[in-house]
């Protein structure tokens, strides 16, 4: 007798997968981030100022709080070298934030064109607190219903 498709070579029965099991919600989530520009570094790119970097980073919005990372106080420091490479000291509202990759990609994408390379140094001390939120950030949070 030939084994049925639901049996292995040893004759053990294998549970058949239903089509519902093949379409789990987690299978529908795309966990690939868009690619950041792969253009080579430009040796003639003028290094941006700290103000230009912070202004560009205001485009990066924390998807949970809907406020940009600068006004949330997540950017602890900006270091720019003579080759237009940017090192960001950043933190998160929680060390277990599931959106770390998205925020990192967003920061790199926001600085594409004004910086050659962007490196993020995740720091945890001092820990982030509500005191770090700017007045603009507080206004944005109040607008969406937070009491800060």
pLDDT value for 31: 52
Element (H, E) at 56: helix 50-57
pLDDT value for 38: 47
pLDDT value for 148: 84
pLDDT value for 18: 46
pLDDT value for 98: 87
| Rounded Cα gap, residues 86 and 32, in angstroms | 24
pLDDT value for 124: 92
> Using an 8 Å Cβ cutoff, are 111 and 52 in contact?
no
| Rounded Cα gap, residues 111 and 53, in angstroms | 7
pLDDT value for 44: 81
Element (H, E) at 100: helix 100-110
Entry pTM: 0.71
Which segments in the chain show pLDDT lower than 70?
A: 1-41
SS3 82: coil
């Amino acid at each position: 007798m030939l084994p049925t498709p639901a049996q292995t070579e040893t004759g053990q029965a294998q549970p058949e997968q239903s089509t519902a099991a093949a379409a789990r919600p987690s299978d529908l989530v795309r966990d690939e981030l868009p690619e950041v520009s792969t253009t080579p570094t430009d040796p003639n790119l003028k290094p941006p100022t700290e103000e230009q970097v912070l202004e560009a980073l205001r485009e990066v919005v924390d998807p949970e709080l809907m406020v940009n990372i600068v006004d949330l106080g997540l950017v602890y420091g900006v270091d720019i070298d003579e080759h237009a490479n940017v090192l960001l000291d950043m933190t998160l509202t929680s060390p277990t934030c599931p959106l770390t990759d998205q925020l990192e990609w967003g920061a790199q994408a926001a600085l594409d064109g004004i910086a050659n390379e962007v490196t993020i140094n995740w720091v945890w001390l001092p820990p982030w607190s509500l005191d770090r939120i700017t007045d603009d950030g507080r206004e944005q949070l109040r607008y969406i219903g937070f009491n800060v």
